[in-house]
Structure 1
Amino acid sequence: MHSVDVAPEGPDQAGGPLVPASDGGARARILDAAVLRFAREGFGASVRSIAADAGVSAALVIHHFGSKGRLREACDEHVLAWIVEAKRQNMTKAASGRLFEVLAQAEGFAPLVGYVLRSLQSGGVVGRAFVEHMIDDAETYTAEAVADGIVNPSRDERARVRYLVYSSLGAMLLSVTLDPPHDAEDVTAAMRRFMDELYLPMLELFTEGFLTTRRMLDDYLLYVPDPPPGAQVPADGTPHDHEEEP
């Protein structure tokens, strides 16, 4: 939902790390290196190249993770945990008027976004599971945002977060696929271009809406079942209430 060049590990323009802070141990260094390498080259990257990036031997990578497949699973968990915290922090910053700080730090998320895009491009069971996990996490932190008064409630929160995840990841994937960076590893430039072109209309849609009346929603609600049990209802009335229109 932010702006793809995956640069070598180091500080971003906002002064923060490009990868999640680790404890400096070999296992953590391998995870950080694997996320960056997979984001740059895809999941065909070799264990040997990951080991070299981490400054360890390939044998030590296998010692810690057992196989390249298990390393990939650990990277999925690593990045998913990062996504939850990063998006939760960004939701708070945007709500407190610190949106420009969020934008300034966007390039710091390049490895994360690059890894997600590679996961989507690879498809298969892992890619689908990754997206479903993201939806689970999004449902959690969106519920927190609703409780904090930052986000309006939905009649079907699960369906809404699925749409938002599909929309944000799909838009980024399509942008990078149709207009790939000249350098295959330059994901950050593609992400910056994506943000420059689409962040304003995205914020307009989120904050100001698109339609001037709710007629289409009211017509739709006449022909669908009631919201699922436990669904939250907007403060202005029940899901089937009709508002006067101009």
Structure 2
Amino acid sequence: MSTTHEDLTGRARLRDAAIECFAARGFGESLRAIATRAGVSAGLVRHHFGSKEELRAECDATVLKRYRVLKVDSMNTPPTRLFAQLPASRDGGVLMVYILRSVQDGSPAGRTFVDNMVAEALAFTTDAVARGLVVPSRNEEARARFMVQQSIGSMLVNLAMRPEVRLDDFANVMDQYMAQAMLPTLEVYTEGVFADRTYLDEYLAYLAAKTNPPAGLAGEAAMS
């Protein structure tokens, strides 16, 4: 395979076109449609990637990398600047819709995508705890997984209930979701929901009793 600058540029253009095509219309999109979006011949897709599966794998890896960069940038950006950047977040919309497609298709790639997102979230929250941005958790991995699942589930429901929103209008997809979700998300993460610790304390006591039952109860259970 040629490794000229033109080939590398063409490969990146095809990959980015595929990411947008997959996000806009799903992973059943044809190689010909991807090539048309990239402005090249269909034969170049197989020249650069060999198969649609290899193209999808590179798209997955690229989206995950860009998601990681977006997450790191957002954590390192002061809130005053961060929220000023939210309107017309087309690139963020592409990533969001692509991720949702990956989860919806139920493929091993989709599950791997979620697992990678959880691993990334765990790294982000661990770093944020160390920097004093986030309170620590009794189970950091469980919290990271819950937050990723909640975020993905929220976006899926939001878009499913709004069929008028075109998924290929990436900036609008991102903007309307942020308008709906940003305030309640920040309220829950910052201020919580319950007015006191009663439910948490009772559940922690329940877990402790379940893990270390009183000796009498343990003996009775063994005899029954």
Q: Is residue 88–residue 171 contact of structure 2 (8 Å, CA) maintained in 1?
A: no
Classify the secondary structure of the residue corresponding to 2:164.
Answer: coil
Segments of structure 2 that go 5 or more residues without pairing to the other structure are 1-6, 210-224
The alignment-based identity, stated in percent, is: 44
Q: Is residue 84–residue 138 contact of structure 1 (8 Å, CA) maintained in 2?
A: no
**What number of residue pairs does the alignment pair up?**
203
Q: Is residue 92–residue 174 contact of structure 2 (8 Å, CA) maintained in 1?
A: no
Residue 18 of structure 2 is matched in structure 1 by 34
Residue 200 of structure 1 is matched in structure 2 by 183
Q: CA separation of 1:184/1:169 partners in 2, compared to 1, >3 Å: closer, same or farther? A: closer
Residue 169 of structure 2 is matched in structure 1 by 186
Q: Is residue 181–residue 189 contact of structure 1 (8 Å, CA) maintained in 2?
A: no
Q: CA separation of 1:99/1:187 partners in 2, compared to 1, >3 Å: closer, same or farther? A: closer
Q: Is residue 165–residue 173 contact of structure 2 (8 Å, CA) maintained in 1?
A: no
Name the CA distance, whole Å, in 2 between partners of 1:99 and 1:36.
24
How far is 1:144 from its partner? 1.4
Q: 1:74 aligns with which of 45, 58, 63?
A: 58
TM-score with structure 1 setting the length: 0.76
**Matching of residue 166 in structure 1 with residue 149 in structure 2:** yes
**Matching of residue 222 in structure 1 with residue 205 in structure 2:** yes
Classify the secondary structure of the residue corresponding to 1:93.
Answer: coil
Residue 139 of structure 1 is matched in structure 2 by 122
Q: 2:192 aligns with which of 195, 209, 212?
A: 209
Q: Is residue 31–residue 42 contact of structure 2 (8 Å, CA) maintained in 1?
A: yes
How far is 1:102 from its partner? 4.2
Q: Within 5 A, what are the aligned runs for 1:99-138?
A: 99-104=82-87, 106-138=89-121
Structure number, greater radius of gyration:
2
Residue 46 of structure 1 is matched in structure 2 by 30
Q: Is residue 181–residue 187 contact of structure 1 (8 Å, CA) maintained in 2?
A: no
Q: Is residue 42–residue 118 contact of structure 1 (8 Å, CA) maintained in 2?
A: yes
How far is 1:187 from its partner? 4.5
Q: 1:58 aligns with which of 38, 42, 47?
A: 42
User: Structure 2 counterpart of 1:25, which letter?
Assistant: T
- If asked which structure has higher relative contact order (CA below 8 Å, sep 6+), I would say 1
Residue 93 of structure 1 is matched in structure 2 by 77
TM-score with structure 2 setting the length: 0.83
How far is 1:182 from its partner? 5.1
Residue 12 of structure 1 is matched in structure 2 by none
Residue 233 of structure 1 is matched in structure 2 by none
Name the CA distance, whole Å, in 2 between partners of 1:209 and 1:129.
30
How far is 1:184 from its partner? 5.2
RMSD, aligned CA: 2.1
User: Structure 1 counterpart of 2:184, which letter?
Assistant: P
